[in-house]
Structure 1
Amino acid sequence: MKKHKVSRFFFIVSFIGLLFYLLYFILGLAFSRQLATIARYPLTSLDDFISKPILVVKNSLSELRHLNNTFLENKQLRKELRKQNLSQQYFEELLAENKRLKNLLSLSATVDKWVSAEVISRNPYQWYDSLQIKTAKKVLQPNSLVLSGEGIIGKVTSANRQAARVELLTCGKEVNIPIKIVDKNKIIYGNLKYFQIEEKRMLASEFNSNEAIDLGAKVYTSGLDGETQANLPVGKVIGFKNSSDKLKRQLLIKLFADFDHLDNVLVVGIEK
């Protein structure tokens, strides 16, 4: 009986010991995992702390390279576009100049005595007052009319064998060039007087008739002064200032010539 009690006591003690051992093992395993997690967290945080700025810098450098490449591409495109625009502008200028030369050639076929000349000097401060032309060693007669491809632009005021000075119609001074107004089946005669600078139009008066003239009637030189050649294009009628006195009657004329672009001209008159 006593031996049976001792065996039972050892069994209980062994069971409790085993239970404590299992509990210790389970708690130890859980603690070691927690400890590993705790130990690993600072390392992970440190790695994130170091790697994130590096990643940001790498991304920034990549963006900078992309932006720089885009800038260089845009710069090249702007350069090519600028060259293309300049080429297009130069081409258009050549076309315009070619058209003016054709007009000049066509006009030269309608006059008897003429000399071609090239504009060699024009003062920006007196752009609409005067210019100088190269005359190919020919001395021109003062008061000879000068024409662009569209119509008369002025008169020769002085000349030598190298150049001649041309006073433009747009200078505002009185020019007194005899003209005729051609309107359908009627013609009236008068004088081209002066350019109204503010209104950008020519004024003509001293007519031989008070006969009605339509807007748009063409104006030509008449040659009635015995010096200038007749039938050179001048402009067209754009307005009236009628008067009972035909000599005081005024017609407003828009000139045919383009005074902004003058490069080659014809001088119509007699050499000295």
Structure 2
Amino acid sequence: MSNSFMVRYRAYALLIALLLSALPQLAAARAVRPRDADATRERVDINAGWRFSRFTTNPDSLSYSVLKNWVLPSANGFINGTKHQRPSGTPPGSNVRYVQGDFDDGAWEAVDLPHDWAAKGPFNAPGINGGMGRLPSNGIGWYRKTLTLAGRDLEKTLFLDVDGAMSYSAVWLNGNLVGGWPYGYNSFRLDLTPYAKEGGNQLAIRLENALDSSRWYPGAGIYRNVWLVKVNPVHVRQYGTYVTTPRVSAESATVNLAVEVDNTGSASQQV
């Protein structure tokens, strides 16, 4: 038997022994994995399974001027300020039937996001001034979806991330006006936590586009992705990670990392 064969044999035997000795540790790690998953950030695609209806006349007596004071505080987290404060009292729209869990939306169109309600036409007939053959982007659009949450989800902070919706968005969860975003070309985030419950949660989003609101085709509907984000009360803030390189040379570089952490819980935490 050659020396090289003996060396390979011993190496394989050692590798097998190491793997066998590691099995208890691997089994233990696997056993605690579900618990470790509770500490992670979940970003869930909720694009599928929406109901949609478009109205060319106002079906709900709402408008941005009515909703504005409850929508603008949604920007505070984005601008890192407290310029806008949510008014006291009952927010508008709480009695609108489209935000209620018992409203039957079975006759509404079934859609998946991203969705542009005007893209399928028809084109408007051009006027005497020519125009650009506009698609029917005007009107009021309502979207509805049921979110199912487990009891463990209620221990998290829950955000709704909307990558793009045209325009003047207003969002309700379980009949409560959460907030909104007026501009159609920006993404936005809303905190669903105070309004969430175990089981089925009725999410409703209202959009409104004025007639001839743009010289180009502006888009219509929730035309980008929508996400449900679940994080622990102590979590890295959205857009809260900053990397800079204050000193760079051919030989070396200094990299600085700054991280902002939010605590949405009621108790102080050591980070």
Q: Where on the TM-score scale, by shorter chain, does this alignment land: which range? A: under 0.3
Question: Looking at both structures, which has the greater relative contact order when contacts are Cα pairs under 8 Å and sequence separation is at least 6?
Answer: 2
Bigger Rg over Cα: 1
Q: Which has the higher helix share?
A: 1
Q: Which has the higher strand share?
A: 2
